[in-house]
Structure 1
Amino acid sequence: MAHESDDAASQTRSRGRPVGGGSTAQEAQAKLLDAAERLFVERGYAASTMEAIAREAGYSRAVMYRHFRNRDHLMDALVVRTTMSEISKMAGRLIVLNDLGEIITESMVAVSVEVGANPLLRVLADRDGRGTVASLIVNAPSLADLLTSMYAGVFSGQVANIRDGVRPADAARYVLSVALGLLLELVPGVSDPDQVRRYVRVFVLPALMAHPPDPEPVFT
């Protein structure tokens, strides 16, 4: 009887994951973040507890807390991963552009229309009825600095096209502030890509470029 009981226990364990999930730390974190993203989008923030997320990923509650101290820590990791994924997709389109004005303009369109509409970021931003996608990005550890560095790299490679006296680091911070303003919907019509393009060409590029485009009507 004891032998049969041991066999049954072994079979029960085989249906789950071994201690630690049988994965590397990076694999476990990725699976937990994948599960969190699914639950947050499908069920909302309030219903997606740490225990529910761990169960969805096939891990124990203890494994979950080994990787993420609490739900805020988990949320920060999701915001960074999701934002950088959106930025990576944007970079793939921008890399073929040679004109600095087009790079800035199209990156602003991607931020306001695509990042702002990301379903996971919107769920996380709306979790208490007061947050915004912009506040998620600002409050996520090091994310704003990472985005600023990315833009600074772009401007450093296009120094000849920048207004005299404008430093790449300052230009990067200015562009990020504009992007956050678009995410806050402080500019009318941010869901319209063409209107965002007109806004950037008329009001943003003249502050940065040695030879900005001519003015045009912006708001329709």
Structure 2
Amino acid sequence: MRRTKEQTAETREALLDAAEQVFFDRGVARATLEEIAREAGMTRGALYWHFTDKEALYAAMLERVRLPLLETELAASDLSDPFAALERFADKALERIAHNEQIWRIHVIIMLRRERLPGNPGMIDIERQLRGHIAAALGDCFRRAKVLGMLRESIPPERAARGFQSQLIGLIYVGIQDPDAFRLHADGVEMIRDLLAGYRAA
């Protein structure tokens, strides 16, 4: 029985690897389940045993980049200095994307290969849920900064969290678009520090 479970897990991972490659090469909209099964060296029946449709494959692929969960790491941080926790969060997130090939490739798929076409509400919901997990942890962090008197009085915590997340997403987008001109990790962390400096109470 144990071996069967191991084989099932290996098959699932192989299908996710294949989906990742096909999505990267052809784009999510043009990729077919038949192509993904063929890339994995399996039948469509084997694919359907693990995933009901392309949306389920896409969701599982995104889940792989959330492990370990960065938002959980942020929530577990010592929030006596929320700004230091936010900087560490951004540092770790950008480092993972810049230096882990699989995580970088999945972010390329999300930002450049996942065509925003009508009829994809499920994928939009998947991405919104992923952003929402992180947004909730960021909001808690900025609310803590507000309570401690560290956040500028004129900036609501919710707006600060949205601005921080938007800046981070923008940095990732620029970093994968033009990696030769923009050092995602080194340059990105400096820009996050600049943003946080603007948020700090005088």
TM-score of the aligned structures, taking structure 2 as reference length: 0.63
Matched, 1:36 2:12: no
* Whole-angstrom CA distance in 2 between matches of 1:102 and 1:128: 28
Query: Gaps spanning 5+ residues in structure 2: where?
Result: 26-33, 115-122
The alignment partner of 2:152 has SS state of: coil
The alignment partner of 2:160 has SS state of: helix
Q: Identify the residue that residue 5 of structure 1 maps to in structure 2.
A: none
Of 135, 145, 152 in structure 2, the residue corresponding to residue 163 of structure 1 is: 152
For 1:43-97, what per-residue CA distance to the aligned partner results, in whole angstroms no more than 9, with x for missing partners?
x326961366594xxxx74464255232343022211x12321544982797246
Query: Gaps spanning 5+ residues in structure 1: where?
Result: 1-13, 212-220
* Whole-angstrom CA distance in 1 between matches of 2:125 and 2:172: 11
Matched, 1:198 2:190: yes
Aligned-partner residue type, residue 108 of structure 1: A
Identity between Structure 1 and Structure 2 (%)? 14
The alignment partner of 2:113 has SS state of: coil
Aligned-partner residue type, residue 139 of structure 2: A
**69 and 209 in structure 1: CA distance in 2 versus 1, 3 angstrom threshold:** same
Matched, 1:114 2:118: no
* Whole-angstrom CA distance in 1 between matches of 2:155 and 2:141: 14
Structure number with the higher helix fraction is: 2
For 1:155-193, what per-residue CA distance to the aligned partner results, in whole angstroms no more than 9, with x for missing partners?
222222111132222221111101101101269643343
**102 and 127 in structure 1: CA distance in 2 versus 1, 3 angstrom threshold:** closer
* Whole-angstrom CA distance in 1 between matches of 2:113 and 2:52: 22
Of 67, 73, 77 in structure 1, the residue corresponding to residue 56 of structure 2 is: 73
**106 and 51 in structure 1: CA distance in 2 versus 1, 3 angstrom threshold:** same
Aligned length: 177
Aligned-partner residue type, residue 68 of structure 1: F
For 1:104-162, what per-residue CA distance to the aligned partner results, in whole angstroms no more than 9, with x for missing partners?
22222222221344433433455699438xxx999624111111111112222222211
* Whole-angstrom CA distance in 1 between matches of 2:128 and 2:10: 21
* Whole-angstrom CA distance in 2 between matches of 1:191 and 1:88: 17
TM-score of the aligned structures, taking structure 1 as reference length: 0.59
Aligned-partner residue type, residue 207 of structure 1: G
Output the aligned Cα RMSD: 4.3
Aligned-partner residue type, residue 101 of structure 1: F
The alignment partner of 2:153 has SS state of: coil
* Whole-angstrom CA distance in 2 between matches of 1:198 and 1:129: 22
* Whole-angstrom CA distance in 1 between matches of 2:192 and 2:111: 29
